[in-house]
Amino acid sequence: MSAKIRQPHSPISGFIFHLHPRKVAAETIRFTLSFGLGGMAATLFLVLAVTGVLQLLSYSSDSTAAYQSIILMYAGSSLAGFIRNVHHWAGNLLVIVALLHLLRVYLTGALGQGRRLNWLIGCTLFLLVLLANFTGYLLPWDQLAFWAVTIFTNMVTYVPLIGDPLGELLRGSNEVGPATLANFFAIHVGLIPPLILILLIYHFWLIRKAGGLVRSRNGEAHAPMVPTVPTLISREAAVGFGLCALLFLFSALVDAPLDDIANPGQSPNPAKAAWYFMGLQELLLHLHPVFAICIVPLLMLLLLAMLPFLRQAALEPGIWCGGSRGRWTAASSFLAGLLGVIIWVIVDEFVFKISGSEHFLTPWLSRGIVPLLSLIFISGLVYRLLRLRKSPPSESVMAVTLLCLGIVCGLTVIGIWFRGPGMALGFFFLKG
């Protein structure tokens, strides 16, 4: 029997009880259920909002002064440089943390009734986090920023029909220049953060409405409850403060990158997109642009958005990957995707392109339809084989999803570390 729990009353606890109920199921505060990833993402957003506002004191969004304003942040023993570092590393870390949070939500089967809408909100939040990072990337107005944004806005123009106007809308003119900086600054500061905040409030409300985090079927029936204050709150505080301590320490030791001032006349070699878009840039080296920039990413986004609506995709709630066999399937499919795409890139680079066999068919076929159909065929084969081995449908869908994730991660890793001057393939990261 649960004893009557006395709760302290103060303005702080008043705020806490707006976010949380007074008691939560003991099962849901297990660290290994959520790894505190949602809380980490929320902490990082808070840090970004505070450091972002502080940066407004020293940053100038005028293209003739932007770079200099960043240099000045590091002059003397000013705190501004440290704040920029924190903002930079927090923004980049948020991409990774949000992706891991997305994975944990899916793999612990938290997509059932009452959580579907929250999954879609989450997907939108993830896209907004990417957009926030991308628009922030240009603001230092250095060579890295200028050329990364040039590459990405050029990639956008490959989208059929709307590509050119979309590229122009982003750049605010024909090419990246002062109008782009003004555009990106306004979007970065005035549009994306309020949108994220509104969606986050809705995100938290939907979690409360769903009765808290996901529980196992066993836990639903007879769930021991624990008081939010202090049990849940002390854990959330430990995760939040621990993360901030590590982030601040790292930012004190490692400066955010800054190259020479933007020079539209001289492109660096290699000119690379921001790291979270390197998978797309890598794909562009192998596929027809319409497939690389539009069809393949859209199909993957569609698969992601549809996961909660596919009856076969619902994993056992509250249990990672549906059980130990599922965990093994998940790990091996991810690795298969990662290794498979590495082999494909090497074969394409050193066999197909050199032998000229890529020109055997029209580019639409050899660099578009054939690779896409091969991916669909391999995914179908993985699904079928697992079903024949008596794996439940949810485990088989999970295998296909993690195979795709492995492919995306493989392409990103190759793009970041294994592409050098002229986008040649090699161990360039070893040369520093």
Chain contacts with ligand HEM (rule: CB under 6 A): 34, 37-39, 41-42, 45, 48-49, 52-53, 55-56, 59, 70, 84, 87-88, 91, 94, 98, 101-102, 105, 110, 115, 118-119, 122-123, 125-126, 129, 132-133, 136-137, 139-140, 188-189, 193, 196, 200, 203, 207, 210, 213-214, 256
Q: Of the two residues 39 and 322, which places its CB atom closer to ligand HEM in the complex?
A: 39
What's the min distance (Å) between Cβ of 172 and ligand HEM?
17
The DSSP annotation for 380-430 comes to HHHHHHHHHTT--HHHHHHHHHHHHHHHHHHHHHHHHHSB-GGG-BS-GGG
- Residue closer to ligand HEM by CB (options 136, 410) is 136
260 vs 11: CA distance, rounded Å = 49
> Residue 119 or residue 344: which is nearer to ligand HEM going by CB?
119
Cβ closest to ligand HEM, residue 273 vs residue 386: 273
Residue 235 or 387 with smaller CB distance to ligand HEM: 235
Find the shortest distance in angstroms from Cβ 138 to ligand HEM: 8
Both structure tokens of 298: 């859209």
Give me the least distance between CB of 265 and ligand HEM, in Å please.
Answer: 23
- Nearest Cα to Cα of residue 119 among 272, 262, 303, 330: 303
| Cα–Cα distance, 5 to 121 (Å, whole number) | 34
Q: In whole angstroms, how close is the CB of 387 to ligand HEM at the nearest point?
A: 26
Specify whether the CB–CB gap between 116 and 309 falls below 8 A: yes
> Least distance (Å) from ligand HEM to the CB of residue 39?
5
C-alpha torsion 118→95→249→52, nearest 10: -80
- Maximum Cα interatomic distance, the chain, rounded to a whole number of Å: 76
**Which is nearer to ligand HEM, 129 or 284 (by Cβ)?**
129
CA–CA separation, 188 vs 86, rounded Å?
17
- Tokens standing for 104? 């944990």
State in angstroms the smallest separation of the CB of 223 from ligand HEM: 14
CB of 293 to ligand HEM, least distance (A): 22
Nearer to ligand HEM, 61 or 391 (CB): 61
Q: How far is CA 164 from CA 168, 173, 180, 298, in A?
A: 6, 11, 15, 18
- The answer to whether the beta carbons of residues 322 and 309 sit under 8 Å apart is no
